[in-house]
């Protein structure tokens, strides 16, 4: 019998990573734009590491989010 399970040369890997502690965030401003079936939510937030912009696109209940450092040049 041939098996596809082969030992890794890098040793055992643990697939259960410890969760990162959450960082408290403060919402500074939120704006919402509706374009046809899409809703875009722009949220400016701040935490101990600085300000960041969270852009969320909602299309029929499906959400995609990107987060950008507020001071990064686009």
Terminal-to-terminal C-alpha distance of the chain: 56
Q: What is the reported pLDDT for 46? A: 94
Q: Where are the domains of the chain?
A: 26-69
Comparing C-alpha atoms, which of 55, 52, 73, 51 is closest to residue 63?
55
For 9-22, how does the pLDDT look when each residue is reduced to its tens digit (9 = 90+)? 666 656 666 777 78
For 18-37, how does the pLDDT look when each residue is reduced to its tens digit (9 = 90+)? 777 788 999 999 999 999 99
Q: Percent of the chain having pLDDT more than 90? A: 57
What residues are paired with 65 via a beta bridge? 56
The CATH code belonging to domain 26-69 is 3.10.450.700
The band of 66, judged by pLDDT with boundaries at 50, 70 and 90, is: very high
Task: Answer yes or no: pTM beyond 0.75.
Answer: no
- pLDDT beyond 90 at 3: no
């Amino acid at each position: 019998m041939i098996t596809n399970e082969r030992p890794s040369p890098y040793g055992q890997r643990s697939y259960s990573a410890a969760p990162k502690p959450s960082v408290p965030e403060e919402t500074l401003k939120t704006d919402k734009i509706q374009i046809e079936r899409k809703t875009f939510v722009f949220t400016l937030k701040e935490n101990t590491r600085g300000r960041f912009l969270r852009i969320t696109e909602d299309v029929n209940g499906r959400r995609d989010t990107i987060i950008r450092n507020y001071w990064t040049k686009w």
